[in-house]
Amino acid sequence: MHESRAFRVVRTVGLTFLLLFTVLPLYVMLSTSVKPLGDVQSDFRWIPSTITARPFVDIWSTVPLARYFANSVIVAGCASALSVTLAVFAAYAISRYTFRGRELFRMAVLSTQMFPGILFLLPLFLIYVNIGQATGIKLTGSLSGLIITYLTFSLPFSIWMLVGYFNSIPRDLDEAGLVDGASPVRVLLSIVVPAAKPGIVAVGIYAFMTSWSEALFASVLTDDNSKTLAVGLAEYSTQNAVYWNQIMAASLVVSVPVVLGFLLMQRYFVQGLTAGAVK
């Protein structure tokens, strides 16, 4: 198919605009992170007059960034692992078995994605407070409470995604395993899960990224010891000064795990989304 000159020009202009729209903010972050604070507070310069790595050193002492980093890794890792594990079993049951309330359950899972998360903030907070008063189990101001909270976001979507992916896997594989004497659980773990690896990886990446960057619930349900990165980064802004260079440096540092994970798993992520969209 021959492309007209006008089409090539429009495409080039559009792609160039999208490239600049993506790259320029990243460049501003990077250039700001290597400037002294005095240069950041003065007139903006595209090319830094002085380059220093000091902000990348100071970010660890200005705020307890290492603790916030560890909290985010624990919360995001546990939430994504639990979400994937529970979603695998739930999605397999919906995909392979017929039971009373099956369609109602599917619609309930999907309907949870139609409401803004802020609607659940106050109910969850009250539930956690009442549980703490009744049982002594502390869910507010703790990592465990935050993990449970993030499960309410990622688990329904994970189930919905994996149901579509499991539906694309031929049932003949299950039947072959059952004929050989394997139990349904063995069929799931030994046959279906390896075949569904791209979809499971895509779900895991989604759950991790959602938990890693969430700030609204973390700002309410955490205390000084359980803060995550999304909340802790705000502490670089004080009543006396705003450490813009350290904010940019910290933002770059905390983005590394997500970016590396996405790049390493990109192939599975694309395959999982493509197959999950097919029902």
Taking residues 99-114, report their average pLDDT: 76
Angle of helix 244-264 relative to helix 65-96, nearest 10 degrees, comes to: 30
Please determine, for residue 91, whether its predicted confidence score (pLDDT) is greater than 50: yes
CA 150 to chain centre: 10
Q: Looking at per-residue confidence, does 66 or 104 come out higher?
A: 66
Q: What is the three-state SS of 78-92?
A: HHHHHHHHHHHHHHH
Q: What percentage of the chain exceeds 90 in pLDDT?
A: 12
Residue pair 166/106 in contact by the 8 Å Cβ criterion: no
Taking residues 18-22, report their average pLDDT: 87
pLDDT digits (tens, 9 = 90+) for 153-169: 888 888 888 888 888 88
pLDDT digits (tens, 9 = 90+) for 29-42: 888 888 888 888 77
Residue pair 117/216 in contact by the 8 Å Cβ criterion: yes
Query: Would you state the structure tokens that stand for residue 38, as one six-digit string?
Result: 């005095």
- Output the pLDDT for position 2: 65
Number of H helices, E strands in the chain: 15, 0
- Output the pLDDT for position 240: 76
Residue pair 63/246 in contact by the 8 Å Cβ criterion: no
| Residue at 28: amino acid letter | V
Please determine, for residue 26, whether its predicted confidence score (pLDDT) is greater than 50: yes
Number of Cβ within a 10 Å radius of residue 110:
14
What Å distances lie between residue 181 and 41, 130, 175, CA to CA?
A: 71, 48, 10
Task: Show the domains of the chain with their CATH numbers.
Answer: 58-276 (1.10.3720.10)
Confidence at 277, pLDDT banded by 50, 70, 90: very low
Least confident of 121-125, 171-175, 201-205, 209-213: 171-175
Report the distance separating Cα 80 and Cα 198, nearest Å.
Answer: 15
The residues, ordered by sequence, that sit 6+ positions from 116 with a Cβ below 8 Å of its Cβ are none
Query: Would you state the structure tokens that stand for residue 50, as one six-digit string?
Result: 């002085």
Confidence at 279, pLDDT banded by 50, 70, 90: very low
Whole-structure pTM value: 0.82
First to last CA, the chain: 32
Residue pair 72/212 in contact by the 8 Å Cβ criterion: yes
Within 97-223, residue ranges assigned H as helices are: 102-111, 121-135, 143-167, 171-179, 184-187, 193-195, 197-213, 216-221
| Residue at 244: amino acid letter | W
Taking residues 122-149, report their average pLDDT: 88
Report the distance separating Cα 72 and Cα 211, nearest Å.
Answer: 8
